Amino acid sequence: MSKQASHIPPGAISVLVSSTFAFTICFAVWMMFAVLGIPIKTSLGLSETEFGLLAAMPVLTGSLVRVPLGIWTDRFGGRIVLFVLMLSTVAPIWLMSHATAYWHFLVLALFVGLAGGAFSVGTPYVARWFPRERQGLAMGIFGAGNSGSALTKFVAPALIVAAGGSWTIVPKVYAVAMLVTAILFWVGSRSKPEHLVSRSVTLREQLAMLRDPRVWRYCQYYSVVFGGYVALALWMTKYYIGEYGFDMKTAALLAACFSLPGGVLRALGGWISDRYGAYKTTWWVMWVCWVAFFLLSYPQTRFSILTVGGPQDFHIGLTALPFTLLLFVVGIAMAVGKASVFKFISNDFPDHIGAVSGMVGLAGGLGGFVLPILFGALLDLTGVRSSCFMLLYGTVCVSLVWMHFSFRAESVALGEQVLAQHAARPAQQ
């Protein structure tokens, strides 16, 4: 590795710090209804379905806008796009405190959800400030901002208690926080014209990258490591209560053993991807998840065996401790996998990181939106709580098979190309 290749340009660290802080606040706002939705549900008398729709609305819109935001980042620059994006959410967040009808909350949630699109802006923006061998770590540090989901679980309840149980204080504080964050980001960030995609590159040419089969492969990987992460983070508190009989406080604490490492350790995944490569890192992540999900899928089982001394009863199933340890391992693996997938993108599409990361981010976000619904449907159909892990086990199987055959074919094609070049040299001589 040359010194020139390893050089980090002036302003890169400032961009990384300001962007990561901005993304953390955006993610905290994006997950606001995880706490805020509870008092709203009580005050409006919402059903479980209505509550689920309200909580999911920001996730849906935050996912759908990722593709256009990624394309605009390539064309106009991440600094201006992220700044305008954050400003556009301030008014809807503030108005949330004045909403009175269910449809008011749904409409405002659509606009609040724009904050979730910050990921597809910050990823290409940050990556272009660093040399290729440092991009994985840089994107991993930035991606660790999704630990903002844990931040909102600490801040929002504290605000409600401080306000004497009134939830309206939360949107007001969050609106001010978003405005201040946008200003701090603008002051701390920088822009470079050479980071923009040439204006001669048309929108059609940018979208043409989405027809590349590699993009769809990375979408599937990310729907597992990010979509699965979001879905399990939403589902595990309820799982602990139903499966092991814990109270809400204990269940949330144990569920955090999964969600916290799944967010904070993303920077570690970026470093590992830089050091060992995106393919090898993602391959091992999928195998770790495959083994863990197989063990987590096994339902609590009781059976009897008739012996000469009479029937013998047996029980097979994970107790809370090994279950939590396995979940902790999955959280670490998914944190690493989220970073390694985006290392693929920076390697394969250096000139179109925004468009491709937007599409991949969309797939991951939709996975986080759809999977909890499927978890509930499977539980209703089978009555087996561990069926959620059975579904995730199946998605990991698809990833492993797809990786095996796709990269084997690419390796064969590369080998044939190298042999052809060697064969052509004697003829030229």
Q: What is the pLDDT of residue 279?
A: 84
- For the chain, what is the mean pLDDT? 81
> Kind and range of the H or E element at 252?
helix 248-264
CB 16 within 8 A of CB 127: no
Other beta carbons less than 10 A from residue 3's beta carbon: 6
Domains with residue ranges and CATH for the chain = 9-191 (1.20.1250.20), 210-423 (1.20.1250.20)
Over the stretch 68-86, which tens digit does the pLDDT of each residue have? 887 788 778 888 999 999 9
pLDDT bucket at 418, cuts 50 / 70 / 90? very low
Q: How many helices (H) and strands (E) does the chain have?
A: 20, 2
Q: What is the pLDDT of residue 13?
A: 87
Query: Can you tell me whether residue 319 is helix, strand or coil?
Result: coil
The proportion of the chain whose per-residue pLDDT surpasses 90, expressed as a percent, equals: 20
Q: Which residue has the higher pLDDT, 248 or 327?
A: 327
CB 258 within 8 A of CB 331: yes
288: left (phi over 0), alpha (psi -120 to 50) or beta: alpha
Q: What is the pLDDT of residue 328?
A: 92
The proportion of the chain whose per-residue pLDDT surpasses 70, expressed as a percent, equals: 87
Residue 414, pLDDT above cutoff 70:
no
Structure tokens at 161: 């208690």
Residue 1, pLDDT above cutoff 70:
no
Residue 6, pLDDT above cutoff 60:
no
Q: Which residue has the higher pLDDT, 238 or 333?
A: 333
Distance CA 200, CA 173 (A): 43
Cα 232–Cα 233–Cα 237 angle in degrees, nearest 5: 95
Over the stretch 253-296, which tens digit does the pLDDT of each residue have? 787 788 778 777 777 887 888 888 888 888 899 999 999 999 99
Other beta carbons less than 10 A from residue 111's beta carbon: 18
Mean pLDDT of 387-400: 90
Nearest to 396 by CA among 232, 267, 253: 232
Lowest mean pLDDT among 34-43, 56-65, 287-296, 397-406: 34-43
Q: What is the pLDDT of residue 264?
A: 74
Residue 345, pLDDT above cutoff 90:
no
pLDDT bucket at 424, cuts 50 / 70 / 90? low
pLDDT bucket at 210, cuts 50 / 70 / 90? low
CB 385 within 8 A of CB 105: no
CA dist list (Å): 72 to 79, 112, 113: 11, 19, 18
Over the stretch 128-143, which tens digit does the pLDDT of each residue have? 888 877 777 787 788 7
Give first-to-last CA distance, the chain, whole Å.
Answer: 32
Q: What is the pLDDT of residue 96?
A: 92
Mean pLDDT of 397-402: 87
CB 386 within 8 A of CB 298: yes
pTM above 0.75, yes or no: no
Residue 189, pLDDT above cutoff 70:
yes
Query: Can you tell me whether residue 196 is helix, strand or coil?
Result: coil
